[in-house]
Structure 1
Amino acid sequence: MHAVRKLAPGPGLIFTEQPDPRPGPHDVVVRVKATSICGTDAHIYNWDPWAESRIHLPLTVGHELCGEVVEVGSAVTLVSLGEYVAAESHLTCGRCFQCRTGQAHVCRSYRILGVDLDGSYAEYVALPEAVLWKTAPDIPPHLACIQEPLGNAVDAALAEDVTGQTLLITGCGPTGLFAAAVARTAGAATIIASDVSDYRLGLAKQLGVDHTLNVKADTPEAIASAIRDITEGEGVDASLEMSGDPTALHQAFQAVKNGGRVTLFGIPKGPICFDLPNEIIFKGIRVYGVTGRRLFETWYRIAGLFKAGLDVRPVVTHTFPLAEFEQGFALLNSGQCGKVVLFP
């Protein structure tokens, strides 16, 4: 089969041939119909310090996918040949305290598809049956494959009820955009989004965001003033920090009203200093750290949100054949895209 792999340290990936995978007793082989590019994949493509310290080569990259079950192991009982599936990318141990108390999303020993074992940038991928998610056949592949990252946004946006609330979303990368669509579908009253890119703020508008703020064009003071004006001096009920940018992190805490909540999803490049008394403690703010998705609670919520009318089509801005993956990564590194999907 054809696959996109990292064979040696340094920037780039290689489109090459690889033996077809074979399933173990509890595994299935999925013919990949679509697989999308994640920021984690870009770290590996660019070969930054995180990738250099984390990735063991050789490796087939990719962890966001959908496809058709074409082979099953002898002990598989959850899926059948021909079924249309997506997949959870975190392979949990099932034995640690977190896994045994309903917190498998923060398993202490999890492995990640496309990071710790061969992933989905290929014509076929072998997966444990336990990570598969049966997907409604009316969801097209370019949307079915993004359910995994969409789950991040569902967990971030819906950590608490947002019905009738005012939200600030700092960072309009794909997950921030997904969060805007989720919050709108879940009944948020007013959504404010900030970013450095007019292109991505335009996508946010397509998803129903009420107010967009370009933090590159205005000072932090002007942005804070605009949020106060929009909220009539009250502040927002909840901030979803999706960028990891230090200025955005402070903005998220400063913009939320007393007694509100802040969800943190973006990853800063280094330590961040906070005025804990004035930004968090005296305001009585609830803070949620979000990593991955709740397994499999979030997946069920995604299915329900799709039935409720969730529309994330504007987020998928570009598609390419798998062999043209270089174009997808160039777009991702430029910031002039939403979600990029590859078709093997």
Structure 2
Amino acid sequence: MKAVRVHSYGKRPSVDEIAEPGVTGPFDVLVQVGAAGLCRTDLHIVEGQWAEKSGVQLPYVIGHENAGWVREVGSAVTNVAAGDAVILHPLVTCGLCRACRSGDDVHCENSRFPGIDCDGGMAEYLLTSARSVVKLADGLEPAAVAALADAGLTAYHAVRKAVPLLYPGTTCVVIGAGGLGHIGIQCLAAMTATRIVVVDPNEAARELATRLGAHETFANTAGLHDSAHVVLDFVGEQGAEKEGLAVTRRAGSYFVIGYGGTVDIPTIDLISTERNVVGNLVGSYNDLDELMTLAAQGRVTLHTKTYPLAAVNEAIDDLEAGRLRGRGILVP
């Protein structure tokens, strides 16, 4: 099968011909990939930012936002069958540890993360587990929802955690209306009554944010300092983290979703203002299932640009140059 593999950090991935994975375990699910989202994390992987954390052996297949059709299942699989359209939770989890039994499977003690620490889904086929597949409702196509497996899931997870803080009369500032941010805006509009203020330097992104439910948009945070009950920072680098903290009001919460930068705040400022800094990592299986309900209802939709698998480096160029509005999708 054809697959996008990283051979060396700092060098672009290549499209290789490799062996197709096969079902061997009772809970295995082999998925024919219908679409794989291109995430900024993929760029960080290529740059080597994840090398130490993942410990993955090169070369390997990247891609952690995947949807497609079940091709084959193991003997114990009962929740899906060959031919079913599915989206994949990004982690393969054990189901037995305390985190899994608590429904917090993103913190599974024995997880694998295809596309991060083992072969992922920028390929024609991906081997996963029965615990990771969410069956798609009629009318949802893999290419239309693939990026919801991570970008959407991460945005939804952050918004869901923030919902109790976003009662009517509050203000939520969203930093970045790109691949994750445009989904977070829709989740906020669907799940809260908060005033949604979006900050993005790109005019087209601000226009999209308005169409998706933002009440106000700005090119920068000037004039917004100390205004937000909640800040959702979908950038997390290049100074956005400093601005995000400045925008957060006393007793407010700064949610870090994008990454790459550094949060630097004196401890006296935290205790004197009682601001909260909240980390966010992907989301649970239940989060993804709930997000698919919003997608089936048409309340969350992805804005995408589609590329053939062989054009992966063109897609990377577009993402790096800021030419992508929404999410890049690779179709094998």
**Could you tell me the TM-score, scaled by structure 2's length?**
0.89
1:291 is matched with which residue?
A: 281
| Counterparts of 1:285 and 1:41, CA distance in 2 | 31
* Alignment pair present for 1:329 and 2:316: yes
C-alpha change, 1:246 and 1:6, in structure 2 (3 Å) is closer
1:12 is matched with which residue?
A: 12
* Alignment pair present for 1:211 and 2:216: yes
Q: For residue 300 of structure 2, what is the amino acid of its counterpart?
A: D
Unaligned runs of 5+ in 2: none
Deviation at 1:83?
0.7
1:238 is matched with which residue?
A: 230
Q: Does the Cα contact within 8 Å between 2:134 and 2:289 map onto a contact in 1?
A: no
Q: For residue 341 of structure 1, what is the amino acid of its counterpart?
A: I
* Alignment pair present for 1:343 and 2:331: yes
Deviation at 1:287?
3.5
Deviation at 1:334?
0.7
Q: Does the Cα contact within 8 Å between 1:43 and 1:51 map onto a contact in 2?
A: no
Partner SS state of residue 125, structure 1: strand
Partner SS state of residue 158, structure 1: helix
| Counterparts of 1:300 and 1:115, CA distance in 2 | 22
1:169 is matched with which residue?
A: 174
Partner SS state of residue 183, structure 2: helix
**Could you tell me the TM-score, scaled by structure 1's length?**
0.86
1:126 is matched with which residue?
A: 127
C-alpha change, 1:276 and 1:197, in structure 2 (3 Å) is farther
| Counterparts of 1:131 and 1:106, CA distance in 2 | 14
| Counterparts of 1:74 and 1:93, CA distance in 2 | 17
C-alpha change, 1:326 and 1:301, in structure 2 (3 Å) is same
Identity of aligned residues (%): 28
Count of matched residue positions in the alignment of Structure 1 and Structure 2: 325
Partner SS state of residue 121, structure 1: coil
Q: How does 1:206-285 map to 2 (within 5 A)?
A: 206-215=211-220, 223-225=221-223, 227=224, 235-245=227-237, 247-269=239-261, 271-278=262-269, 280-285=270-275
Deviation at 1:109?
4.0
153-162 or 192-201: which moved more?
192-201
Q: How does 1:18-33 map to 2 (within 5 A)?
A: 18-25=18-25, 26-33=27-34
Q: For residue 157 of structure 1, what is the amino acid of its counterpart?
A: V
C-alpha change, 1:238 and 1:272, in structure 2 (3 Å) is closer
Partner SS state of residue 91, structure 1: coil
| Counterparts of 1:6 and 1:246, CA distance in 2 | 26
Deviation at 1:37?
0.5
Deviation at 1:236?
2.1
Deviation at 1:303?
2.7
| Counterparts of 2:301 and 2:272, CA distance in 1 | 37
Q: Does the Cα contact within 8 Å between 2:61 and 2:123 map onto a contact in 1?
A: yes
Q: For residue 312 of structure 1, what is the amino acid of its counterpart?
A: T
Q: Does the Cα contact within 8 Å between 2:9 and 2:48 map onto a contact in 1?
A: no
2:112 is matched with which residue?
A: 111
C-alpha change, 1:183 and 1:53, in structure 2 (3 Å) is closer
C-alpha change, 1:79 and 1:199, in structure 2 (3 Å) is same
Deviation at 1:126?
1.3
* Alignment pair present for 1:192 and 2:197: yes
Partner SS state of residue 43, structure 1: helix
1:62-91 deviation per Cα after TM superposition (whole angstroms, max 9, x unaligned): 111111111112222221111111101112
| Counterparts of 1:10 and 1:242, CA distance in 2 | 24
Q: How does 1:45-84 map to 2 (within 5 A)?
A: 45=46, 47-51=47-51, 54=54, 55-84=56-85
Q: For residue 15 of structure 1, what is the amino acid of its counterpart?
A: V
C-alpha change, 1:246 and 1:121, in structure 2 (3 Å) is closer
Deviation at 1:108?
3.9
Q: Does the Cα contact within 8 Å between 1:167 and 1:188 map onto a contact in 2?
A: no
| Counterparts of 1:5 and 1:132, CA distance in 2 | 23
Deviation at 1:208?
2.2
Deviation at 1:100?
4.0
1:114-135 deviation per Cα after TM superposition (whole angstroms, max 9, x unaligned): 1222111111111111111111
| Counterparts of 2:50 and 2:288, CA distance in 1 | 28
1:183 is matched with which residue?
A: 188
* Pairwise CA RMSD: 2.3
